């Protein structure tokens, strides 16, 4: 993300936007539309690939385990090929 944010009232198709504050309502994927609008959901994308690398990681300090867990869960939401 960029260093600055700019609030916009509308965004045409084909552009990328960042929506803040909705990450707790979305699990992996979602279709977002204006309340009351008729909107079509996207087809579920099926990947023909699978994770090929496995890595064991641990926090450097025991107090950072919670931060590591939170970060890995966020990564898993964004990338469907990440398995925890």
Task: Evaluate if residue 55 carries a pLDDT over 80.
Answer: yes
Average pLDDT in the 61-80 region? 88
Residue 67 has pLDDT above 60, yes or no: yes
Whether residue 1 has pLDDT greater than 60: no
Comparing CA positions, the residue from 55, 57, 59, 84 lying closest to residue 72 is 84
- In this prediction, residues 6-15 reach a mean pLDDT of 82
Q: 0.75 cut: is pTM over it?
A: no
pLDDT at 21 over 80: no
**Distance set, CA 11 to CA 15, 16, 18, 40 (Å):** 7, 8, 11, 17
């Amino acid at each position: 993300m960029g260093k600055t944010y700019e609030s916009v009232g509308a965004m045409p198709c084909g552009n990328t936007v960042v929506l803040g504050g909705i990450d707790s309502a979305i699990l992996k994927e979602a279709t977002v539309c204006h309340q009351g609008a008729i909107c079509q959901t996207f087809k579920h994308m099926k990947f023909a690939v699978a994770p090929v690398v496995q890595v064991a990681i641990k926090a450097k300090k025991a107090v950072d385990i919670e931060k590591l867990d939170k970060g890995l869960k966020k990564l898993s939401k964004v990338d469907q090929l990440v398995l925890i």
